[in-house]
Structure formats: C-alpha cells, structure tokens
C-alpha cells in the first residue's frame, strides 16, 4: 500500500517520585504509552526535545476548533443548516457543557462535549460545523502555532462529529489542564475518517485500530532517547520513543 502522507508522533514513558499534589506528565503534547519493557541504551534527549514536563506546562496546540453551545443565536445557525434548535434533543446532535473531572469539579473551567451529525458550512479555513441543536464547531487557526490543514469537506456536507474538551484539576492549589479530542467522519460514526485531533499534556496512546485506519499498516515503538530532570517536587527519568510504521521499508 502506498502511503501518501505520514504523521509522525512521539511517545514518552518514565518513572518519577516527589511530593503530594503536583502531577508530572510522562508525555509531551502528543501521546503516552505504558510500555515498560524496552531496553534503554539510548542517547540523552536534547533539552529542547519536549517542553511539556508537567501539568503546569501548556501543551502544543493541535486542535484549532472553537466550540459554541447553542443560544438564541444558535437557532439561526441550525435553521441555516436545514434544521431547528429543538432538533438536537431528538436527533442526538449537539453540544453540552461538562464539569471538570472529579474530585475537584467545582474548581476548574467547565469543558464541552459535542456529538452527532452536523452540517458543514463553508470550506477550507472558513469551515464551520453546525449541529441540529444550533451549536457549532468553528475552524480557527489563531489558537494554534503549528500549521494544520482544515478538513476536506464540501459546503453543505453531512458529517459525524465526536468532540470533547475536558478540564482535569490536579489539586486545589496545583492548577488544571485540558484534554481535547476530535474525530470527524463522513456521514456516520462508521464512515471514513476525515479529520482527527488530540491535544493534552497527558493523553492515552493511539490504538492499533486507529493506526491501521490512518496508515494502512501497523506500528511499533523504538527507544529514541532518555533524559532525567526535576519538575516541581518530582525527580523524573523519562524515555522517549519513536513510532515505526511497518511499511516496506519501515518509516520512522
């Protein structure tokens, strides 16, 4: 199978010890894995290899979407998309606020979750996805530093969306961080994948099924480098891994 484009990602695992409260992140802004059986005979990671060393550090922004929950103005957006604001409850298409993760749910900024079919309005950098309840997801690259391409969808296309932006409160005096996940598929939840984004300082590994869907092949991890550092109260030893796509020849 010919792979026309390759997405590179890096994982990191490590061990840490320290005081109660602050949480370190073994991952950078991409993905984390629980592998622990790798033989480490690796180069020392350069100091600039990852700027995300604890949950105090902001992630690399990679999901340039702004969610707006339905309001009175959302009625017009839903009507423009061929529906009504009341349709969201019946169709399961819309956005709702979600509280921060427990046990400190009263301290963090509420998040948002959106799911169901939506209608694309506009294309390219002007695209907006309108749900049946009038809520919207709008493409806005001003919130990201990396160059990221918008989804390839036609104006008026029907897509299926699963979006969440959730806040995790580390402790009452330790601050919080957000995790943003998004999938856009053509037509339904089982349709072809159009766009996917994942953003956080602590995020789960990409599953084997998704790797296969994205690239058409499997992947495995390979130790890239190792580093030791202090983050707040924690002394950390972290190993960073490359993912190797199992093409012929293999691609790192």
Domain layout of the chain by residue ranges: 1-59+201-252, 60-199
Pairwise CA distance, residues 233 & 252, whole Å? 34
DSSP 162: E
Q: What is the mean pLDDT of the chain?
A: 75
Pairwise CA distance, residues 140 & 125, whole Å? 7
Q: Is the pLDDT of residue 182 over 90?
A: yes
Q: Provide, rounded to the nearest whole percent, the portion of the chain with pLDDT above 70.
A: 69
The predicted structure's pLDDT at residue 156: 97
Q: Is the pLDDT of residue 235 over 50?
A: yes
Among 5, 1, 8, residue whose Cα is nearest residue 206 = 8
Average pLDDT over residues 6-11: 38
Whether 184 and 196 have beta carbons less than 8 Å apart is answered as: yes
DSSP 40: -
Q: Is the pLDDT of residue 109 over 70?
A: yes
Whether 62 and 236 have beta carbons less than 8 Å apart is answered as: no
- H helical segments located in the chain: 72-80, 87-91, 208-215
pTM here?
Answer: 0.72
CA angle at 94 for the pair 93 and 98, rounded to the nearest 5°: 130
The predicted structure's pLDDT at residue 117: 97
Average pLDDT over residues 172-189: 89
- Tell me how many helices (H) and strands (E) the chain has: 3, 13
The predicted structure's pLDDT at residue 174: 75
Q: Is the pLDDT of residue 249 over 80?
A: yes
Which of 3-12, 178-187, 226-235 has the lowest average pLDDT?
A: 3-12
């Amino acid at each position: 199978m010919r792979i026309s484009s390759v997405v590179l990602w890096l994982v990191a695992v490590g061990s840490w010890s320290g005081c109660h409260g602050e949480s370190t992140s073994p991952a950078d802004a991409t993905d984390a894995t629980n592998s622990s059986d790798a033989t480490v005979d690796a180069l020392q990671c350069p100091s600039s290899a990852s700027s995300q060393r604890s949950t105090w550090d902001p992630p690399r922004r990679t999901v340039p979407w702004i969610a707006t929950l339905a309001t009175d103005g959302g009625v017009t957006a839903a009507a423009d998309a061929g529906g009504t604001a009341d349709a969201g409850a019946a169709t399961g298409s819309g956005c709702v606020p979600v509280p921060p993760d427990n046990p400190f749910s009263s301290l963090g900024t509420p998040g948002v979750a959106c799911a169901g079919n939506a209608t694309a309005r506009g294309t390219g950098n002007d695209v907006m996805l309108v749900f049946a309840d009038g809520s919207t997801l709008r493409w806005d690259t001003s919130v990201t530093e990396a160059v990221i391409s918008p989804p390839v969808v036609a104006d008026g296309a029907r897509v299926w969306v699963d979006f969440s932006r959730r806040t995790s409160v580390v402790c009452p005096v330790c601050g919080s961080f957000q995790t943003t996940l998004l999938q856009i598929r053509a037509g339904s939840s089982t349709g072809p994948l159009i766009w996917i984004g994942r953003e956080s300082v602590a995020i789960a590994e990409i599953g084997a099924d998704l790797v296969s869907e994205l690239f058409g092949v499997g992947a495995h991890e390979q130790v890239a480098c190792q580093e030791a550092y202090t983050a707040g109260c924690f002394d950390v030893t972290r190993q960073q891994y490359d993912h190797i796509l199992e093409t012929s020849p293999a691609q790192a």
